[in-house]
Amino acid sequence: MSAKQTEALAAFLFQEEGHREAFLRHFERAHGKVRDHLGASLGPGAVFGDVSILKNLTCPVIFFLGDRDPLMNREYLLSLLAGSGREKDFHLLKNCGHFPQIEQPFLLNRLLELFLRHQREFP
């Protein structure tokens, strides 16, 4: 991967500049084969494999994302879900960062309880 591709990947995966810079520092130190593999599997425009994985899952899935999560790229996650049939399984948690189990435990538990109850009713 070129430096330009690596920077594009970091911008695609991370919303905050500080996290992008940390990713780039660690990425530079990774083995070349690791960098190439990661870039090929996660680079912009290469989400088709991830989408097909979601489409082919046979088990129930639920997705949570905090609206203030500095590590996850909301657009990337939504692009994976678009057309996968799993869009309804996505929950954006308000006033929450990367740790919903700590920042919004009651909301997270309620959503998980509803999800699990629904799975029991409709196996």
Query: When comparing pLDDT for 92 and 13, which is higher?
Result: 92
Q: Do 123 and 85 fall into the same domain?
A: yes
Split at pLDDT 50, 70, 90, the class of 1 is low
8 Å CB contact between 77 and 63: yes
Q: Which domain holds residue 99?
A: 57-123
The reply to whether 52 falls in a domain is no
Round the average pLDDT of the chain to a whole number and report it.
Answer: 78
List alpha helices for the chain, DSSP H: 3-13, 17-29, 32-42, 48-56, 74-81, 100-103, 105-121
Predicted pLDDT at 39:
59
**pTM of the model as a whole:** 0.57
Q: What pLDDT, on a 0 to 100 scale, did the predictor assign at position 77?
A: 82
Same domain assignment for residues 40 and 84: no
User: Do 63 and 93 fall into the same domain?
Assistant: yes
With 0-12 / 13-18 / 19 or more C-beta atoms within 10 angstroms meaning exposed / middle / buried, residue 72 is: middle
Q: Are residues 63 and 120 in the same domain?
A: yes
Residue 12 lies in a domain: yes
The reply to whether 122 and 63 lie within a common domain is yes
- Considering the domain architecture, whether residues 41 and 61 belong to the same structural domain is answered as no
pLDDT at 44 over 60: no
Asked if residue 122 has pLDDT above 70, the reply is: no
Rounded to an integer, the average pLDDT of 16-24 is 79
Asked whether 44 and 13 are in contact (CB, 8 A), the reply is no
Q: What is the Cα–Cα distance from 58 to 2, expressed in whole angstroms?
A: 37
* pLDDT tens-digit map of 93-102: 999 988 898 8
Cα separation, 70 vs 67, whole angstroms: 9
Residue 72, in any domain of the structure: yes
Give CA 68 to chain center in angstroms.
14
The count of domains in the chain is 2
pLDDT bin (cut points 50, 70, 90) of residue 107 is very high
Query: Would residue 71 count as lying in a domain?
Result: yes
Residue 51 belongs to some domain of the structure: no
